[in-house]
């Protein structure tokens, strides 16, 4: 059989090593190439098991499985063991004349044919991690030095591949651990018991989430903008049996009407202007997981028809395609629109409405859950104080009064933004009323506070500061006056003027 020249041999081996991420498959291919390139009859790659301190055959060419199981050595034992111990290659012209050759595999039946044996170490750093061994028929003119050099280069290539594979495997394991950690964080974050609120209406929401999360039922989350509909969708998914699969979110109102179909179902290359590549839709990406469609009331009637089919038949086609795809997806939708009115006026299909409205969950507006305002405000205060590295411990009593008296048209989102703004403005340990947005301070938009003159506003601020200092000093007028940088007489006068009694704070 014609030998491969060295350049071709190394090229073929390099290709073989990089064709597989599976180390065993790659090594088998290397031995197959050596069969032709060096007229090899038998070949083995042995690896050292550090735990057992044992050398065993990992892959072999020309050996039976029984022979491979027999081929075990200790470092320093036989030719292979010696190569592991010393880290130096060995070339034997004739196996039959070498007393150190153990032939543990019992695979050499000479029948008048002599064999040469080559064994070179596979070295990683300063350690021998394996050995490459080759049997070839003895040939008078074949250079043992040349054969050893060729195999040493191959061993180096194998070592590099092993190192690269170890690195890839470590990175894979690291990614797996990171994914597992992030998934655990998400599951903990979106437990419905972590949703803030203990009002009766929110308890009803928690009960409904716990009832529906383990099922595959379609859920319609309804409520005003800013009430936390996406948070409920997250809680349903991460407490469901699909939690380990994708959770894909689509804001239907944020997508142009002509692109939403492509976004949901994907498109084929060239299906429309700008479709330069094939694209997978959200239904494909969410397979076996959950698809959350926010602002579902904003999609067009044409898309509603295709969405209805995807919900009922669990199948769809990409835009510009003819192949039908199956997708096992749980649907959660959300809207702040009156879908019943939309059905009546023809802008929303009645059959789709009834398909989506299997299990509705209504989120109450913040003005209907007043008891939750302080819980939410404290949560956002702690969150943004930590983010901005500020030592803000509480909200003043007048500030709390402002929060409680406001009607919150933007619901929880508006409350969160208000507290974040207050944290950014506050340079002390307490958030006062003047740190809150002007809409809360004046009551102009809410209609809950009368318009104030400059004198009234000043009086209101003075009264707030007097109350706050009395709370801090537990009704001690002397300390309170010192905190405000005034005299006890002036402090007492102001307190009496604003009908504030120090005994109420003891």
Whole-Å CA distances, 97 to 92, 93, 115: 9, 8, 10
pTM above 0.75, yes or no: no
Which pLDDT score, from 0 to 100, does residue 343 have? 93
Q: What is the DSSP letter of 93?
A: S
Q: How far apart are CA 495 and CA 482, in angstroms?
A: 14
Which pLDDT score, from 0 to 100, does residue 105 have? 67
Cβ-count burial 475-502 (b if 16+ within 10 Å, e if not):
ebbeebbebbeeeeeebeebbeeeebeb
CA-CA-CA-CA torsion sign (474, 478, 484, 487) = positive
Which pLDDT score, from 0 to 100, does residue 452 have? 66
Distance, C-alpha 473 to centroid of its chain: 49
pLDDT tens string, the chain, 506 residues long: the values are 334 577 777 788 788 777 766 667 777 788 788 777 777 778 888 887 777 788 888 878 877 778 878 778 888 888 888 888 888 888 888 877 777 776 766 666 656 678 888 888 888 888 888 888 888 888 877 888 888 888 888 888 877 776 665 566 567 777 777 776 666 665 555 555 567 888 888 889 888 998 998 899 999 999 999 998 988 998 899 888 898 899 999 998 888 877 888 889 988 888 777 778 888 889 999 999 999 999 999 898 988 998 999 898 888 888 888 888 888 999 999 999 999 999 999 999 999 999 999 999 999 999 999 989 999 999 999 999 999 999 998 999 888 988 998 889 999 999 999 999 999 999 988 999 889 998 886 554 445 555 567 888 888 888 888 888 888 888 898 988 899 999 989 988 988 888 888 888 87
Which pLDDT score, from 0 to 100, does residue 212 have? 92
Which pLDDT score, from 0 to 100, does residue 221 have? 94
**Helix H segments across 266-410?**
282-285, 301-313, 339-344, 350-356, 373-387, 397-405
Structure tokens at 107: 């695979």
């Amino acid at each position: 059989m014609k030998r491969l020249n060295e350049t071709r041999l190394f090229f073929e081996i390099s290709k073989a090593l990089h064709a597989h991420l599976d180390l065993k498959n790659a090594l088998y291919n290397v031995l197959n190439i050596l069969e032709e390139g060096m007229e090899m009859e038998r070949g083995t790659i042995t690896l050292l098991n550090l735990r057992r301190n044992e050398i065993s055959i990992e892959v072999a060419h020309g050996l039976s499985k029984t022979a491979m199981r027999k081929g075990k050595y200790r470092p320093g034992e036989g030719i292979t063991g010696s190569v592991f111990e010393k880290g130096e290659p060995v070339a034997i012209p004739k196996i039959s004349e070498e007393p150190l050759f153990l032939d543990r595999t019992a695979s050499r039946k000479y029948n008048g044919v002599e064999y040469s044996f080559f064994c070179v170490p596979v070295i990683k750093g300063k350690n021998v991690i394996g050995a490459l061994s080759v049997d070839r028929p003895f040939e008078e003119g074949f250079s043992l030095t040349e054969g050893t050099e060729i195999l040493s280069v191959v061993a180096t290539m194998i070592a590099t591949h092993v190192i690269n594979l170890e690195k890839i495997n470590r990175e894979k394991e690291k990614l797996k651990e990171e994914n597992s950690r992030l998934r655990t964080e998400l599951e903990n974050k979106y437990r419905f018991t972590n949703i803030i609120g203990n009002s009766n209406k929110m308890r009803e929401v928690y009960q409904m989430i716990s009832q529906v999360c383990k099922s595959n039922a379609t859920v319609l989350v309804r409520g005003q903008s800013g009430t936390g509909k996406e948070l409920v969708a997250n809680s349903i998914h991460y407490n469901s049996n699909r939690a380990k699969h994708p959770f894909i979110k689509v804001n239907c109102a944020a997508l142009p009407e002509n692109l939403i179909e492509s976004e949901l179902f994907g498109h084929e290359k060239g299906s429309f202007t700008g479709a330069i590549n094939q694209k997978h839709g959200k239904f494909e990406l969410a397979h076996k997981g959950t698809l959350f469609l926010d602002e579902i009331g904003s999609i067009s009637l044409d898309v509603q028809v295709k969405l209805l089919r995807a919900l009922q038949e669990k199948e769809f086609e990409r835009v510009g395609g003819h192949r039908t795809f199956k997708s096992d997806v749980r649907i959660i939708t959300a809207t702040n629109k009156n879908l019943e009115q939309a059905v009546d006026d023809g802008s929303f299909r009645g059959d789709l409405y009834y398909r989506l409205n299997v299990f509705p969950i209504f989120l109450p507006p913040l003005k209907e859950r007043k008891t939750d305002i302080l819980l939410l405000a404290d949560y956002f205060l702690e969150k943004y104080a930590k983010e901005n590295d500020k030592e803000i411990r509480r909200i003043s009593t007048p500030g709390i009064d402002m929060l409680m008296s406001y009607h919150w048209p933007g619901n929880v989102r508006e409350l969160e933004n208000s507290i974040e703004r207050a944290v950014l403005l506050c340079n002390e340990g307490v958030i006062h009323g003047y740190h809150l947005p002007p809409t809360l301070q004046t009551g102009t938009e809410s209609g809950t506070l009368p318009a104030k003159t400059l004198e009234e506003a000043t009086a209101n601020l003075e009264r707030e500061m007097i109350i706050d200092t009395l709370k801090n000093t537990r009704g001690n007028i002397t300390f309170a006056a010192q905190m405000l940088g005034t005299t006890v007489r002036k402090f007492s006068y102001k307190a009496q003027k604003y009908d504030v009694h120090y005994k109420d704070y003891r």
